[in-house]
Amino acid sequence: MRPLDIDGAWVHEPKTFPDARGTFHEWFSVDGFEKAVGHPLNLAQANCSVSRRGTLRGVHFADVPPSQAKYVKCVRGAVLDVIVDIRVGSPTFGQWEGVRLDDQQHHSVYLSEGLGHAFMALTDDATVVYLCSEGYAPQREHGINPLDPELGIEWPAGVEPLLSEKDAAAPTLAEAREQGLLPTWEQCLAYRDRLKSSAG
């Protein structure tokens, strides 16, 4: 588990063991996760999405608390996975970080409560699985337009983005802030401290 530049986000880079039968790797470890993050992952829901090339999902986030932390892996094909810091008051507010997830390197990303998440499918049938700390709750779910020019996410050139109507109509980061939809840095730190103290 290697921390990314945005606080509260990590990438897991497992060792892969190939042989004549294929390959093996460990894509999640309770011990490794807890050592890096400071608390265990509360597994409340597991999701799987299959996307055609160009599909752009996100930027999604949920109210804090309890929000929805995600541990994300691409098990078929490839995606560009993007974490967005939408926590008002954070030192990296408005910044984003992209990690390629694919079925060759087998990397995974973890984004803690309060961060925004999006990805673009780089191949057809890109299959992404998520371990989620909370179940889906529509009344707490929000989105930011992933093509917001002020956010400036550098999606791959030459790939036409395919968005849902909901994601295409989502507000910009500035509009979401004006509407009071965004979590604060203080809320997220306080909630993370609660998770760490309850694990201790």
H helices of the chain, in order, are 30-37, 165-168, 173-178, 185-199
What is the C-alpha separation between 153 and 4, in angstroms, rounded?
A: 16
Q: CB within 8 A of 180, min separation 6: which ones?
A: none
Active site residue 130: yes
The catalytic residue among 39, 60, 106, 117 is 60
Q: What share of the chain is helix, strand, coil (3-state, %, to 5)?
A: 20, 35, 45
Active site residue 142: no
What is the C-alpha separation between 64 and 123, in angstroms, rounded?
A: 33
Instruction: Give 146's strand partners.
Output: none
Catalytically active residues are: 60, 130
